[in-house]
Structure 1
Amino acid sequence: MSKTPEPVALTVHQASKVLEIGFADGQTFRIPFELMRVCSPSAEVQGHGPGQEVLQTGKRGVSISGVAPIGNYGIQPTFDDGHESGIFTWVYLYELGSKQAELWAQYEARLQAAGVDRDAPMPPKAGSACASH
């Protein structure tokens, strides 16, 4: 994209669990919180390089409890599952909105390949002191 998309409206819809974002080019997207959470641009989700992505599960009911502006280029949502490290740039939100069907299909394919259900709880993090044995 040659020009950064400029947001003109941003609404967090708690009941329907979608982020509605309108851009200056006339595009408006309704991005499900779940999609935002499983596609978070954070290192916790994306890893630190190719092949290090962490498949997110159990996020269907996730909500956004807060949204902080990050400069003039994006937002940092706080999800009610404690995740708050993803910075969503306007470019990334535009991509999430415009490629929702493709991203959902990729997510579902990753779930199937891993043999897990979308609603399965996340496994405990390796080395976590809170992991139950």
Structure 2
Amino acid sequence: MADAPLPTALTVHQHSRVLEIGYADGQTFRIPFELLRVYSPSAEVQGHGPGQEVLQTGKRHVEVLALEPVGHYAVQPHFSDGHRSGIFTWTYLYDLGRRQDALWRDYEDRLAAAGVDRDAPMAEGGGPSCGHHH
């Protein structure tokens, strides 16, 4: 994917649980914390290859406790459920914002296929582990 424009504004809205991010091209996205958490780019969520994704549940009320800058290209959110290994590049955030309707549909389809509700507690272990994320 081509590099996204650089962000010009980044606001964490705790009350409404959204990350608002404005880009130099005039686009502004409001990305719910739940979507950020469910689509975290970390190996813990994405797995180490196609088909190894770990379906995330019970994240509707997750909060972003902190947002650490990573160089000049990304941020690393610290989520209230303890997850903090995802590094969200400006390009990845732009893509999440641009595609969030389709991503929500995909998430709901994956939940339905697994026969679980989005508010179900995470399964113990969360699926196959490579042993590096505990």
Q: TM-score, normalised by structure 1?
A: 0.93
Report how many aligned residue pairs link the two structures: 128
Percent identity of the aligned residues?
70
Letter in 2 for 1:123: A
CA distances 1:35-90 after superposition (whole Å, capped 9, x unpaired): 00000000000000000000000000000000000001110000000000000000
Structure showing greater Rg: 1
- Indicate the RMSD between aligned Cα atoms, in angstroms: 1.5
Alignment of 1:76-87 (within 5 A): 76-87=76-87
Q: TM-score, normalised by structure 2?
A: 0.92
Alignment of 1:85-100 (within 5 A): 85-100=85-100
Kept after mapping to 1: 8 A contact 2:111/2:117: yes
Q: Which runs of 5+ in 1 are unaligned?
A: 129-133
Q: Distance in 1 between matches of 2:109 and 2:128?
A: 28
Kept after mapping to 1: 8 A contact 2:18/2:30: yes
1:3 CA drift (Å):
3.7
Partner of 1:131: none
What secondary structure is seen at the aligned counterpart in 2 of 1:91? helix
Verify: 1:19 aligned to 2:16, yes or no: no
Q: Which runs of 5+ in 2 are unaligned?
A: 130-134
Partner of 1:54: 54
1:127 CA drift (Å):
9.4
